[in-house]
């Protein structure tokens, strides 16, 4: 069985869609509700690096204290941005998915298809009705 981890927020539609796309590949992932159980600082830095991102790339602005904390200031160091994410996990954008094929911030949700080891097993539509996978398990677009 393939080990896949999703850093998930069940209140987020994109995160829910990614979780279901993973399940549609025949894998039950390890689900970590990162607002309840945030990653350690070392793990967060490692995932950012493995995803070929910067801490700024992973920052979430909408619905967070981003503006109040002045995180738009481009003079802030990567360490300062990671410190902010550790203090306020809601600043970590989601869903972040870890598979044997890499680490990826899966926005839009179908981005997860690039790092899943298995094929989709059937049709899949996002919560908004957008068809992503056809009945044969093929990507629609």
The pLDDT value given to residue 141 = 75
User: Residue 62: which domain range?
Assistant: 5-133
Decide if 138 is inside a domain.
Answer: no
Decide if 80 is inside a domain.
Answer: yes
The pTM for the full model equals: 0.94
Decide if 76 is inside a domain.
Answer: yes
Decide if 139 is inside a domain.
Answer: no
DSSP letter for 107, please: S
Decide if 29 is inside a domain.
Answer: yes
Q: Which residues in the chain show pLDDT less than 50?
A: none
The pLDDT value given to residue 66 = 98
Report the domain count for the chain. 1
The pLDDT value given to residue 112 = 97
Q: Cα separation of 36 and 56, whole Å? A: 22
What CATH number should be reported for the domain holding residue 36?
3.40.30.10
Q: Which helix (H) or strand (E) holds 1?
A: none
Catalytic residue among 4, 12, 22, 48: 12
Decide if 140 is inside a domain.
Answer: no
The reply to whether 106 belongs to the active site is: no
The pLDDT value given to residue 103 = 98
Contacts of 56 (CB under 8 A, 6+ apart): 78, 81
Decide if 100 is inside a domain.
Answer: yes
């Amino acid at each position: 069985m393939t080990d896949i981890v999703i850093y998930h927020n069940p209140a987020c539609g994109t995160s829910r869609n990614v979780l279901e796309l993973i399940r549609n590949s025949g894998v039950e992932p390890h689900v970590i509700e990162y607002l309840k159980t945030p990653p350690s600082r070392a793990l967060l830095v490692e995932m950012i690096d493995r995803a070929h991102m910067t801490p700024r790339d992973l920052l979430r602005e909408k619905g967070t204290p981003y503006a109040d904390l002045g995180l738009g200031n481009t003079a802030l160091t990567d360490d300062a941005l990671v410190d902010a994410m550790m203090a306020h996990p809601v600043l970590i954008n989601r869903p972040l998915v870890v598979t044997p094929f890499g680490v990826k911030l899966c926005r839009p949700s179908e981005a997860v298809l690039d790092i899943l080891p298995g094929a989709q097993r059937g049709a899949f539509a996002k919560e908004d009705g957008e068809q992503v996978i056809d009945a044969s398990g093929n990507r629609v677009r």
